[in-house]
Amino acid sequence: MKTLLNLTLNGRAREDAVPENMLLLDYIREVAGITGTKSGCDGGECGACTVLIDGRPRLACITLAHQVAGRQVETIEALAEQGRMSALQRGFHEKLGSQCGFCTPGMIMAAEGLLRRTPDPSEADIRQALSGNICRCTGYVKIIEAVQAAARERQPEQAA
Ligand code: FES
Ligand code: FES
């Protein structure tokens, strides 16, 4: 049975008729048609589906769409501004923190959640924040460097 779901997705208010048992990941990709958020394990193990819910990283593959009624949901598509990559996106690109790219949207959203609450994180903070996100390509060192570069770049804007 479908019931109405109201939420804000990437800054836009939406209302959709959604099955009560639909996962947030399926809602984002199939109903909203926003496909940057990836489906890896579908079991809460890999972090590929990480989105922000009210600014906090959450796994969309183990969250029901109706659980986010009235909340703010952000996906990787929310980060670029007027066609320009965000500091985190640029950091991953320039530091080679993205290779095949499959884990990258989830990694970046987990890092975005970290930098919003901890603008100047230690390496241990970054490793902890990304500990639920699996990457098969990079060995993680370049991902850590990417987040550190983004944190440095964001400092002036956070202080402004
Ligand atoms: S797809 Fe959600 S944690 Fe793997
Ligand atoms: S870049 Fe390929 S899984 Fe992370």
Ligand with smallest separation from the Cα of 103: 2
Write the pLDDT tens digit of every residue in 56-82. 999 999 999 999 999 999 999 999 988
Write the pLDDT tens digit of every residue in 81-126. 889 999 999 999 999 999 999 999 999 999 999 999 999 999 999 9
Q: CATH code at 139?
A: 1.10.150.120
Residue 159 pLDDT > 70: no
How many domains does the chain contain in total? 2
Angle at 67 between CA 63 and CA 68, to 5 degrees: 100
Give the tokens for residue 145: 């460097």
Ligand with smallest separation from the Cα of 61: 1
On whether both 70 and 111 belong to a single domain, the answer is no
Q: Could you tell me if the CB of 5 is within 6 A of ligand 1?
A: no
Distance (angstroms) between ligand 2 centre and the Cα of 50 equals: 14
Atom of ligand 1 nearest to the CA of 50: 2
Residue with tokens 């690109």: 93
On whether both 72 and 94 belong to a single domain, the answer is no
Distance (angstroms) between ligand 1 centre and the Cα of 158 equals: 31
- Structural domain boundaries enclosing 101: 87-159
Averaged pLDDT score across all residues of the chain? 96
